[in-house]
Amino acid sequence: MIDIELIRKNRELVKENIKKKFQDQKISLVDSVYEEDILLRETQAKADQLKGNRNKLSEQIGILMREKKENEAATLKEQVTQMKKEIETLEEKENQLRASIKSKMMMIPNIIAEDVPIGKNDSCNVEEKRFGEAYVPPYEIPYHADIMESFNGLDKDAAGRVSGNGFYYLMGDVARLHSAVLAYARDFMIEKGFIYCIPPFMIHSDAVDGVMSFEEKDNMMYKIEGEDLYLIGTSEHSMIAKFKDQILKESDLPITMTSYSPCFRKEVGAHGIEERGVYRIHQFEKQEMIVICKPEDSDAWYEKMWNYSVELFRNLDIPVRKLVCCSGDLADLKYRSCDIEAWSPRQQKYFEVCSCSNLTDAQARRLSIRYKNQDGTKVYAHTLNNTVIAPPRMLIAFLENNYQEDGTILIPEALRPYMGGKEKIEKK
């Protein structure tokens, strides 16, 4: 959610930002908020004036009562009663205006960074840099589901009978590999100075509204029937919401945390759920990183965070590239974002495995996350998030890049301690 001062002082900037995101249907919200904000302040001023007059009359009534001038006091009491009704009407109007302004402000996208490439969708995202050699071996690499099944490591048929499409059983060495990469990612982030956390896997609706747009909520989140609870789509949701309505100490910033959680997503949209493989599914597990910092530090943290992803994947011998997200591919709360994509030697192309985002103060305003600076001023913090690792999708890249001609899977040195010292996975 943007600062309403932007609408008060520079509506055209906000409208131009909406156009850059190809959401012209939201432009009318800016003028509507501007007009309702003026009306709200006028209503508040009128109510404040009436309250001041009422207080003066109440003092006069007290004086008159002490002087035994009951008739004059009764006349003033009638005026006070009438003022009370007017104040209640005005306060009700204030509440309605505040609610209307808030709902519209929640739909107006965050201001994007000046250097974000302008484009309508992810086809306009821009490759910035590659890391590692995108190698294609001279032998055929099977489809990832076939690789997993060759080790008796994947059963989607049984999951379909138990849970339906979009779920899976992982077993044996493949399941162990899944846990190993999560454990390695956890320790990798702890070594970077991040605090490890296992957060709640369900959150209230006000927390959901604080961390994402309404459209994302409808397309992603599973609602618990009969409860004000949603299953998280990523642990960023409960991690950022942990600081809801808090005034932090400046000395405690930055707050850097890494979290493990299962993630649940409806995956509503044109892409759908993958029938055979595990690239797009309803349930997966992830290691996440979040940062809460001062505004002047968020750009530097953004650079650090996506570089951590690159370092981790290169440690696992997986070539990656950084792809800068264009304006139309940014979720409403994002100031800037990039994807780290892993190389698929089977498809001979890159695919997304991490997403790093700087949301400036958009989430902090929705959740009221502030800190008190040295002069006592309360300032909205900046929030950032990034995927550390998200198997089983990440396993696709791992298996393909470490697949050998004889059907075995090499285990990079960094991961061997988490696989009982194994140097490779072999078919039994």
Query: Which tokens is 156 given?
Result: 């989607």
Contact between 105 and 1 under an 8 Å Cβ cutoff? The reply is yes
pLDDT tens-digit series, residues 40-75: 999 999 999 999 998 888 888 888 888 888 888 888
Query: Which tokens is 359 given?
Result: 């949301």
pLDDT tens-digit series, residues 180-231: 999 999 999 999 999 999 999 999 999 999 998 877 888 889 999 999 999 9
Name the H helices within 121-251. 144-150, 156-162, 172-191, 205-211, 214-220, 235-241
Q: 135: Cβ–Cβ under 8 A, 6 or more apart, which residues?
A: 319, 343, 345, 401
Name the pTM for this structure: 0.90
Q: What's the chain's average pLDDT?
A: 93
Contact between 181 and 315 under an 8 Å Cβ cutoff? The reply is no
**CB-based burial of residue 160 (10 Å sphere; 0-12 exposed, 13-18 middle, 19+ buried)?**
middle
pLDDT of residue 215: 79
- First-to-final CA distance of the chain: 54
| 107 band by pLDDT with thresholds 50, 70 and 90 | very high
Q: Where are the beta strands (DSSP E) in 57-197?
A: 126-131, 154-155, 169-170, 195-197
Rounded distance, CA 346 to CA 37, Å?
A: 56
Strands 247-249 and 370-372, sheet pairing = parallel
Strands 409-410 and 424-425, sheet pairing = antiparallel
**Distance (Å) of CA 307 to CA 142, 259, 272, 310, 321:** 30, 18, 30, 5, 11
What count of other Cβ atoms lies within 10 Å of the Cβ of residue 112? 20
Q: Domains in the chain, ordered, with CATH?
A: 4-105 (1.10.287.40), 122-425 (3.30.930.10)
**CB-based burial of residue 368 (10 Å sphere; 0-12 exposed, 13-18 middle, 19+ buried)?**
middle
pLDDT of residue 318: 96
Partners of residue 256 on adjacent β-strands: 291
Rounded distance, CA 350 to CA 329, Å?
A: 17
Rounded distance, CA 257 to CA 242, Å?
A: 11
Partners of residue 205 on adjacent β-strands: none
Residue 428 above 80 pLDDT? no
Rounded distance, CA 195 to CA 389, Å?
A: 16
Residue with token string 């008739």: 71
pLDDT of residue 275: 67
Residue 212: half-sphere exposure toward Cβ, Cα within 13 Å: 21
pLDDT of residue 273: 58
